[in-house]
Amino acid sequence: MRAMNNTAFLLSLIAPLFSHLKDEEYGQVLRNAAWQDVRAAAGDTAGAALALPAWPVRSSFQNELLMPGMPLAAMPVESLYKPWSSQEGNAFGATRGLYMGDAARHMSALYRQLSIDVPASFASMPDHLTLELELLSLVLEAGNEEAARQLVHDHVDWLDDYDAALANRADMVAHNGALIDQRRRTLLDGIAFLRALLALVTSITRAILNERTEAPHGCSNPVPLFHAGR
């Protein structure tokens, strides 16, 4: 139980940093001494990459990377990295890069079942990584290991694709001769921070899955999360 609570605590600290934060919200993160626990969990090398950037740097890179519609946006939203729908006959079924796909609809159903209100800023993306990690933290804190594994299996299996998107943005920034050096450096530092954070999340969620005796992908009848259907 202690291990689950520790993991839940780490995820609760990490989750907000994948979203677009206001000055005062980020200030709370900067003032929270517990961030050192996150860096310690990542190990010496990765922990160094997880030093929190100052607000001007954070504000600059999040405005370009974590804002929908921006040329360099790399949004951590599950639906964008999966086929939009598995329903037969759906015209957009196999299409990727669209919001509010099957994953989003399933997450919305879970929130309704748990009486969790999705903030207005996430209304079009209930499968945003910030919300998924916050829900995973709540499930772990409640001691429901099986539900945590099912949530990871169903909704946190796209992180490698998101990392590839961030790597693509880094390549775009590095080879854009129109960018002034300071802006290029800020963007590259921001991308490096997000990728380091994502690597830690990937490690944590894989550990949650690996605690299962039989891997979820090998289960013919996986346990439904909170008994909720898609």
In a domain, 83, yes or no: no
HEC states along the chain?
Answer: CHHHHHHHHHHHHHHHHHCCCCHHHHHHHHHCCCHHHHHHHHCHHHHHHCCCCCHHHHHHHHHHHCCCCCCCCCCCEHHHHCCCCCCCCCCCCCCCCCCCCHHHHHHHHHHHHCCCCCCHHHCCCCCEHHHHHHHHHHHHHCCCHHHHHHHHHHHCCCHHHHHHHHHHHHHHHHCCCCCCHHHHHHHHHHHHHHHHHHHHHHHHHHHHHHCCCCCHHHCCCCCCHHHCCC
In a domain, 52, yes or no: yes
In a domain, 122, yes or no: no
In a domain, 194, yes or no: yes
Contacts of 63 (CB under 8 A, 6+ apart): 20, 70
In a domain, 150, yes or no: no
**Two structure tokens written together for 165:** 């998107």
Q: Write down the pLDDT at residue 89.
A: 60
In a domain, 121, yes or no: no
pTM exceeds 0.85 for this model: yes
128: phi then psi, degrees, rounded to nearest 5: -65, 145
Give the Cα separation of 109 and 106 in Å (integer): 5
Residues facing residue 77 across a β-bridge: 128
Say how many residues make up the chain.
230
Residues facing residue 128 across a β-bridge: 77
In a domain, 177, yes or no: yes
**Two structure tokens written together for 144:** 């429901």
Give the Cα separation of 147 and 184 in Å (integer): 42
pLDDT averages per 10-residue partition of the chain, 230 residues: 86 98 98 97 92 97 97 98 76 76 96 96 97 98 96 97 98 97 98 98 95 42 41
Q: Tell the residue number behind the tokens 């079009």, with chain if given.
A: 124
**Which range of residues forms the domain containing residue 6?**
2-76+159-225
Count structural domains, the chain: 1
Q: Write down the pLDDT at residue 101.
A: 93
**Two structure tokens written together for 113:** 């079942």
In a domain, 9, yes or no: yes
**Two structure tokens written together for 107:** 């997450």
